[in-house]
Chain A
Amino acid sequence: MDSHELVQLRTSLSRVLAIGNGKGGSYKTTLAANLAGLAADSGMRVLVADLDPQGNLSEELGLTQTGRDENGGEALFDAIARGKPLSPSHPNVRDNLDLVAADQINTAALASWLSSTMGGNRDAVFALARALQPVADQYSLIVLDLPPGNEPLIKAAMTAAQYLVIPTQADISSIKGMRAMGRRFAEARAGDNPDLELLGIVAVGIPDAAKALRKDTIKAIQAAFGGNAPMFDTIIRHAIAPAVDARNRGLLVHELEAFVPTQAEALARLRERAAGADVERAVSSTAKKLAADFAGITEEIFAAIAQRESSA
């Protein structure tokens, strides 16, 4: 790729945010979906792309629950391996939010294609970037949900992205996954994407009340980065009930929040229960706190992007 094309590519992709960790279950997909959904809810045009063959973003956004998740990865496969213009597999999955979904067959095939092509052509690492470039102008933000361990897809994403965010839990495996992601970041910066910036680390899945665990996690993250970890202040709490409710219902957390009973409804339920009625379990009020966490981290990530853009 010549330098002129590279400059154009980087200019077009200046708002591409990758979210990754080398370990599964580290809130990558949940963070990608909720951040993208909140941004879209604010009025921004947002594209979110699932690069994980597991295709869990389709669950987060409610497509699987409504049987609309078949062949979700076809659009990205066609764009990269077939050279067709990229169009979202699911346009307007929410107002202002377009989705490029993933699935086991197409996304795994895409990974194989990338793997074999990257072997013989160094330029192939730019395949995702080139696929995104023509549509990037339509969006205020593009979010990439990375797989935990698919090297060709991760490499392509790290070359396409301008920013990287790493969510991590407190356990040793997640910290290990964070280190692996840190190494990939360093490789990308030293190689094909010197502009890639690590926006920060998000501590996730820690109960609000576990103050000591919070401290230990922060310490472990800092230790992994030699004391200079760019950590966000917001910690996404462990809140199993709203997390399960949100995913099962195909709602984002700020959407689930609307189903938390009001004070009057909660009291009415109590009265019904007291009268012996079989009352359905209500959405936990913790959904509000979890929604506040996602809003908080999204605001922090946006502030970090804005700060970099203003100093550019």
Chain B
Amino acid sequence: MTDKPPAGGLPPDHLEELFTPPARRSANLTRILSPVRPVAPTEPAEPIGAEDDDNNTVAEPIEPARTPASTRTEAADPAVTPAPEPERPSASKASTGGRRLIIVYMPASQREWLRRAAVGATQLDVVLDAVEQAEMAGELSQAIADAYQPETGGLFERPRASRGSRAHVQVSLSMLQSHVEVLDRLVAQHGAPDRSALVRAALDHARTHSRKHA
């Protein structure tokens, strides 16, 4: 061993191996604050457009662009008196990217699963993947049928998703118009009661599928 430094002005190339690359800066955040926002135990969002329990039907999905007056979204809009018509800035519609806010209803437990499944992806991605996988596997019809198979264990036959038995929360999804069209086509093709029903069935299918492969 000699104290003499190695020849040459610069150290050898392999020195970088002595340095540890920085940790992912966001690595601790979800350990500090849960991605799932705590929800106060208030009454669940009531499915808009749902018929009475007597009819045993599930909520219809909201379509803000078509029927704004009947939607919760509309109800949540600024409840201010009609203000003077605002100065309209010169703005094009292109920036909205042809998206529509679609609200679907699902049980709170399914919404929580959706949120967890959306880590690293958007909730919309998870929903679209679920629908696509069920459809491509030829299992979407069966998934919808399973979801709406009447519960026959009790005295009265009741559909599973009646308002009284399973409260639903709303999930807003910013979809492309083409997404909405595909969903609507699948709703008609498979005889699902509405978009929400189709999405719930697809997510149930995906959840079951993911458990099998876990």
Q: Which residue numbers of A lie inside 8 Å of B, CB to CB?
A: 1, 7-8, 11, 14-15, 38-39, 41-45, 70-75, 77, 80-89, 91-92, 95-96, 98, 105-106, 109, 112-113, 116-117, 120-121, 123-124, 126-127, 130-131, 133-135, 137-140, 254, 257, 262-264, 267, 270-271, 274, 288, 291-292, 294-295, 298-299, 302-303, 305-306, 309, 312
Contact = CB atoms under 8 A, between A and B. Distances in A.
Contacts, number: 193
Contacts of A41: 24-26
A-B pairs, top 5 by smallest CB distance, nearest first, are A263-B16, A42-B26, A42-B29, A302-B33, A43-B119
B86 A137 contact: no
A258 to B, nearest CB: 9
Given A91-B97, A120-B81, A135-B101, A14 B37 contact: yes
Report the interface size class on chain B: 35 or more
A298 B97 CA distance: 31
A137 B91 contact: no
A92 B122 contact: yes
Interface of B: 9-11, 13, 15-16, 18-19, 22, 24-30, 32-40, 42, 64, 72-74, 76-81, 83-84, 86-92, 94-97, 99-101, 103, 115, 118-123, 169-174
A117 B80 contact: yes
Contact of A106 (B19, B72, B89): B89
B151 to A, nearest CB: 28
A187 B122 CA distance: 37
Contacts of B40: 11, 14
Given A291-B25, A306-B32, 13 more contacts: A39-B29, A42-B26, A71-B91, A89-B96, A121-B81, A123-B79, A123-B80, A127-B78, A130-B76, A131-B77, A137-B170, A298-B26, A302-B29
